[in-house]
Amino acid sequence: MWRYKPFILACILTMHGQYFFAQTPYSWQDFVEEMANDDYAEEQGWTDHMEEMAQLASHPMEINTATREQMQQLPFLSDEQIEEIHEYIFLNQGMRSMSELMAIPSIDQRTRKYLQLFFTANVWPDEWKDSVSLKSLLHNAHHDVSTRLDIPLYYRLGYSYPPSQGGYQGSTLYHNMRYQLTSQKHLEAGLAAEKDQGEPFRNNRGWDHYGGYLMLRDMGWLRSVVVGDYKMGFGEGLVVNTSFSTGKSSLMKRPSQGIRAKRSMDEANYFRGVALTLGSKVLNLSLWLSHRRLDATLSDEGDATTIVASGLHRTTAELDKKHNLGTTMAGGNLSWRNKGFHLGATGYFQRFHRKLSPGDALYRQIYPEGRNFGVMGVNYGYTHLWFAVAGETAYSTQRGGWATQNRVSWKITPNYRLSGSYRFYSYNYYSFHASALSENSRVQNESGATLRLDATPIDNLSVAAYIDFFYNPWPRYSLTHSSRGQEAMLQAECQIGEQNTLSARYQLKRKEQSDEMRLHNRLRLQYTRLQGPYWRLQSQLTLHSVDHDGVGWAVAERIRYKRQAGQLSALVAYFSTPNFETRLYQYEPMLSQMFRFPSLYGRGIRMVGTGLYRFWKNRLTVEVLYSLTRYTDREVQGSGMQLIDSPWKNDISLQLRLRL
């Protein structure tokens, strides 16, 4: 165990840290652009996860009192790093400044920048034990109200038809509203409402989707309780994990975040009811009860053939699927943690009010069928400052399927870390709420092994590489036989002085599609420059080649100008791809709590501009976004009801936010 000389060290690091943070200001937009990854582009969960991260960043936690579960909500923190932060706080009787993170060996410069967005160090040790009363909670409450309106400057084909002929029933506008209340570290509440483009308003009881929650936490033996909408994750996520799984790009990050409120606009991946956690630092018991109405496609017999997760209710056909499948779920988790060891058991029983009948298609024959389902699992592990091992083994009752995932991490030196993982998900195994390391979207019908290396061979140079092998014994969609594949990635980032950053990422993937092995090559080169205290410039080249389909490429330039009260951002990109298979993904500057990773294919220009200004002592924030797409290889875009009879596509978004 390493120890510190807190007073002298804290003084030195505070002075040095103030200089460091002053010289290199770091913003939420910087964090999002660094976290944006091509691997996440097609995952809806990435957008919802970043939405929740934005909520956390807008209400930073006190690092001296943050629990393990709260820290585990941050995907860039490993178990070893959380252990070292808590040990430092314990040995030094608190952290007086965030700059003291420089004294923790495993917290590198990038992680320090990330942490300053989500934590503060303002509470001194003698203030940790605060008194809690209803009067004090309401007196110290902070309120956050926001609303967003999206205005498309074009018309889709769906608005040209009356609802009786399958047209959209609502207006072209998107709208949402949010309210959040926070008080100290104990009380949090929120309300949300959302209407997507094309969804009716007056004839749909107002907004299409409503959500809300009330959460109390850290009140003695009551660790947390949530009434309303919530999410949760335990173990490795084989039984329950409604968080976004960072997968191969972050191999040793596990989803054991416990129970927490749902802060995003996600309409599918959450629970609704009541959940609580009781216990201490060593032993915890979590219990939950949930009842929800889901969207589903029904057969002529009234069975549910497909559970629909899009959340869109624009046409008569989509409205017919709305909330026609009820489900009730009850479950629990018992977890023990002591001296680096952890052990837990998770299980739930779920009943659907209609029978699930997935159909006779070959790839759907392994999907769950019936009304009643149960899943149980045991997770285990040990975490040391230099070594970690963890895993989970689960069993589903319907077909008697098994699933297991096990991983190990070894910090060879402070600059080199080697990680490995093995997974086996039987095609008979199924959990409706699982999310874990996998090549496909389901934790089912897959086995694989992953090896990853993270290194800092010299100062200011970081390198990451992984290789993954996967096998699917049951035929997937568009296949008639079992399949296998491989994926490899190499990424390097070099910091040149305080102003310049160079990064390169290459990914190779071999995977079967339509009974044919396809080889994908992706390359991204990026140069970032901080021009003085206000300007940030970034240039990017992206390539995507697929054998027999050609090469797609795009060049993009991002510019950001930021002053204390306001900010301007812009993106200009030119893209050229021969077909949809070689499509590219480009993260764009967005409004706060808004995230988009659109696909680009064909030939054209994409432009995005955003502006932000704060009034009234930063309490009122006004934001505006304008985006434009001009295709040069076509006169129409989209298909079906989404077709736009023009090569142009223009959008405006407005957002207001009030903090009291």
Per-residue model confidence (pLDDT) at position 407: 92
Is the pLDDT confidence value at 46 over 70?
Answer: no
Say if CB 72 and CB 66 are below 8 A apart. no
Smallest Cα–Cα separation from 592: which of 34, 120, 146?
Answer: 146
Smallest Cα–Cα separation from 657: which of 32, 60, 178?
Answer: 178
Helix ranges restricted to H, 106-219: 109-118, 134-139
Per-residue model confidence (pLDDT) at position 248: 62
The pLDDT-based confidence of 40 (bands split at 50, 70, 90) is low
Average pLDDT over residues 314-328: 94
**Measured distance CA(347)–CA(396) in Å, rounded:** 10
Average pLDDT over residues 28-46: 66
Is the pLDDT confidence value at 574 over 70?
Answer: yes
Per-residue model confidence (pLDDT) at position 7: 40
Per-residue model confidence (pLDDT) at position 363: 93
**Measured distance CA(423)–CA(185) in Å, rounded:** 37
Tens-place pLDDT, residues 530-559: 888 889 999 999 999 998 889 999 999 999
On average, the pLDDT of the chain sits at 86
More confident residue, 500 or 41: 500
More confident residue, 37 or 356: 356
**Measured distance CA(82)–CA(357) in Å, rounded:** 44
Per-residue model confidence (pLDDT) at position 55: 74
Is the pLDDT confidence value at 250 over 80?
Answer: no
Tens-place pLDDT, residues 441-468: 889 999 999 999 999 998 889 999 999 9
Per-residue model confidence (pLDDT) at position 256: 62
Is the pLDDT confidence value at 12 over 50?
Answer: no
User: Across 280-324, where does the E strand assignment appear?
Assistant: 283-298, 304-308
Specify the pTM.
0.87
Q: What residue ranges do the domains of the chain occupy?
A: 1-132, 280-514, 520-660
Is the pLDDT confidence value at 365 over 60?
Answer: yes
Per-residue model confidence (pLDDT) at position 357: 94
Say if CB 379 and CB 390 are below 8 A apart. yes
Tens-place pLDDT, residues 163-202: 888 899 999 999 999 999 988 778 899 999 999 999 998 7
Say if CB 306 and CB 293 are below 8 A apart. no
Percent of the chain with pLDDT over 90: 56
- Exposure string over 556-588, b if 16+ CB within 10 A, otherwise e: bebbbebeeeebebbbebebbbeeebbbbbbbb
CA dihedral 302, 305, 307, 311 (to 10 degrees): -70
The 3-state DSSP class for residue 95 equals coil
Is the pLDDT confidence value at 24 over 50?
Answer: no
HSE, CB side, 13 Å, CA atoms: give it for residue 310.
14
Per-residue model confidence (pLDDT) at position 387: 87
Q: Which tokens sit at 502?
A: 């160079």
**Measured distance CA(514)–CA(582) in Å, rounded:** 16
**Helix axes 109-118 and 44-58, enclosed angle (nearest 10):** 70
**Measured distance CA(416)–CA(455) in Å, rounded:** 4
HSE, CB side, 13 Å, CA atoms: give it for residue 122.
8
CB atoms under 10 Å from CB of 282, counted, come to 10
Is the pLDDT confidence value at 17 over 50?
Answer: no
The pLDDT-based confidence of 21 (bands split at 50, 70, 90) is very low
The pLDDT-based confidence of 249 (bands split at 50, 70, 90) is low
Per-residue model confidence (pLDDT) at position 654: 96
- Exposure string over 41-55, b if 16+ CB within 10 A, otherwise e: bebbbbbbbbbbbbb
Tens-place pLDDT, residues 284-298: 999 999 999 999 999
Per-residue model confidence (pLDDT) at position 312: 92
Average pLDDT over residues 630-654: 94
β-strand pairing of 119-120 with 61-62: parallel
Q: Which tokens sit at 414?
A: 């402070």
Tens-place pLDDT, residues 116-158: 888 888 765 555 455 566 666 677 788 999 999 999 999 999 9
The set of residues, in sequence order, having a beta carbon less than 8 Å from that of 616 and lying 6+ positions away, is none
Per-residue model confidence (pLDDT) at position 136: 64
**Measured distance CA(264)–CA(54) in Å, rounded:** 9
Per-residue model confidence (pLDDT) at position 598: 83
Is the pLDDT confidence value at 23 over 80?
Answer: no
Smallest Cα–Cα separation from 104: which of 36, 173, 250, 2?
Answer: 2
